[in-house]
Amino acid sequence: MIWHKQVTFWLSMLAVFVVACWLLSSVLLPFVAGMALAYFLNPLTTRLERFGLNRLLASLLTISVTLLVGIALLLLVLPIFSSQLAAFITNLPEYIVKLQNLATGEKADWLRSVIGDRMPQIRQGLSDLATQGAAYLLTLLQSIWTGGQALLSVFSLLVITPVVAFYMLNDWNSMIDKVDSWLPVKQRPQLRELALQIDHAIAGFVRGQSAVCVILGAYYALSLTLAGLNFGFVIGLVSGMITFIPYVGSLTGLVLAAGVAVVQFFPDYTMIVIVLCVFFFGQFIEGYILQPKLVGESVGLHPVWLMFALLAFGYLLGFLGLLLAVPLAAAVGVLVRFGIQQYLASPLYTGEEPPAEDGLVS
């Protein structure tokens, strides 16, 4: 049957795509980053085109302004961020030791009253855990820092990515028309509808969640800095930037900020509460204002599925996997929902006689 051949063909193309990404992951990053940037900026370019600019000039203006803003932000943020991150990595073992002493030291009467004579065993266990945790976290942060420096110094990302984004923006409409012409004629309307749903899911999350990350990162960094928290700028910025991973960003920032606040301000509970309130208020504005307004309810990406996709693709393909995780997760989600709808309408589910062959099953 024809639909068997179609399924075989598309599964084969998917397998080729996955293998190609895996084999070429080390060189694909600037190209995928350029395509992601073009996708992100396409609505602005299209709007400029509607104002009377031709596509070439609109694309050039969009990329130029984006580059200027990006360079300005790097010049302003990078020196502070890099110095604080380096200091945080250096002081992390000392902070963990201080936290351990506060929890199990001589002044920990509250803990001693709870566990009684088991205090030495608890102290030893926490000491081992803190040592292992500090070593792991320190190695992780150092690798992130080293990778971040390498990322910023890679020639391809600084030069090739904007060039790819410009050409993608300039040729966006013609590329869409060309891909549309390749679709099977009889199934073209249904495939177009699926593509629109995938685009809606990707755009709703990528563009909306990017705005949420930027707003929360700026809020956390500024609020923690004004509160006088050591390394508040880097903790706040990182917390906001990883908010796209559900619950992980806010929880990571809360744990780091609370730990630093306890070491820095204890026994001044007022300042510790202020730091905690910064994150609680951030969660409030994210959950009740930013997410509903900027991301919306129609994205269709379940938090658990999104976390799995980010971790799985990040593990397999590194930073390239993080760029591909959301669009692929959105596409798979749309296709799975479509498959379920087809199954519920099929004789396999209803037990009725099969209808005349039509659509994708013809």
What pLDDT does residue 361 have? 46
**Could you give the CA distance from residue 181 to residue 189 in angstroms, rounded to a whole number?**
12
Q: Token digits for 113?
A: 């009253």
| Cβ-based neighbour number of residue 8 at 10 Å | 10
What does the angle CA 333 – CA 336 – CA 338 come to, to the nearest 5 degrees?
A: 110
> Contact at 8 Å (CB) between 284 and 349?
no
What pLDDT does residue 223 have? 92
The residue ranges of the chain whose pLDDT is under 70 are 1-7, 25-26, 100, 102-157, 246-247, 295-301, 317-320, 323, 353-362
Cβ-in-10-Å burial (0-12, 13-18, 19+) of 72 comes to: exposed
> Taking the chain, what is the end-to-end CA distance rounded to the nearest angstrom?
8
How many helices (H) and strands (E) in the chain? 15, 0
What pLDDT does residue 149 have? 43
Of residues 362, 16, 4, the one with CA closest to residue 186: 362
What pLDDT does residue 285 have? 86
Quote the longest CA-to-CA distance of the chain. 80
What pLDDT does residue 353 have? 66
Domain residue ranges of the chain, discontinuous segments joined by +: 25-109+116-182
49-76 pLDDT, tens digit per residue, is 888 888 889 889 999 998 888 888 878 8
101-154 pLDDT, tens digit per residue, is 766 655 555 455 545 555 555 555 555 555 555 555 555 455 544 444 444 445
**Could you give the CA distance from residue 321 to residue 225 in angstroms, rounded to a whole number?**
32
